[in-house]
Amino acid sequence: MRDDHAGKRETGKAEQSRQPCAVSGCVAMGIIVLVAVISLSAPANGAEKKALKPSPRDKCTVCGMFVAKYPDWVATIAFRDGSLAFFDGPKDLFKYYHDLQRYNPAKKKSDILSMQVSDYYVLEPIDAFKAYYVIGSDVYGPMGRELIPFSTETDAAEFMKDHGGNRIVTFRDITPEILKALQ
């Protein structure tokens, strides 16, 4: 009896493996496709987290100052074509962003891959789109009054206790009018 059952089991396995795209085959193929898609998108995601450091010759695209002299304030825009624009602080990054046609007529906002600013407390690059900025504090950047960036709203509020400030804003709140007021 044991032999009969064993034969049936083997026959069943053989029949399953001959079926086109058996469930296990489809799952395996799906995993392969998913891994391929994730690995192809990894460089774009990595570009946002990797610190983009200016060389000693890189100048702020807006004011012309040498950016490497102010590493704690470096802000960067990375474009999809691999080109970079460096700034000596968030204020100039936003001036450039809001008037891209003036500073770089060959580019559009849709060409931007990522934007980074330096978190004031940890001095690490953070996503400019997700940052919180304090306006009107007693802390000045290389070009005077500055937007002071933080990765969390809690850090921005804590900073305001020590350094004042008018308010905390996010990326979408920063307009050309706010930038003029910082001049």
Whole-structure pTM value: 0.72
For residues 31 and 116, state if they share a domain.
no
Judgement on whether residues 44 and 66 belong to the same structural domain of the protein? no
Domain boundary among 48, 71, 86: 48
What average pLDDT does range 23-45 have in this prediction?
40
Which of 10, 32, 48 terminates a domain? The answer is: 48
Query: Are 29 and 113 in the same domain?
Result: no
Is 56 in the same domain as 43? no
Residues 136 and 145: their CA atoms lie apart, in Å, by: 7
Residues 69 and 135 in one domain: yes
Q: Are residues 67 and 122 in the same domain?
A: yes
Q: How many CA atoms lie within 13 A of 137 on its CB side?
A: 23
If asked whether residues 71 and 8 sit together in one domain, one would say no
Mark whether 126 and 138 lie in a shared domain. Answer: yes
Residues 146 and 58 in one domain: yes
Residue 52: predicted pLDDT: 77
Instruction: Examine the domain organization and report whether 90 and 124 are in the same domain.
Output: yes
The tally of domains found in the chain comes to 2
What digits encode the pLDDT tens for the residues 73-127? 999 999 999 999 999 999 999 999 999 999 999 999 999 999 999 999 999 999 9
CA 69 to chain centroid, in Å, comes to 23
Query: What pLDDT is attached to residue 53?
Result: 87
Q: What is the domain extent for residue 28? A: 2-48
Clarify whether residues 147 and 133 are in a common domain. yes
Q: 161 or 9: which carries more pLDDT confidence?
A: 161
64 and 118 belong to one structural domain: yes
Q: pLDDT category, 181, cuts 50, 70, 90?
A: very high
Q: State the pLDDT at residue 183.
A: 86
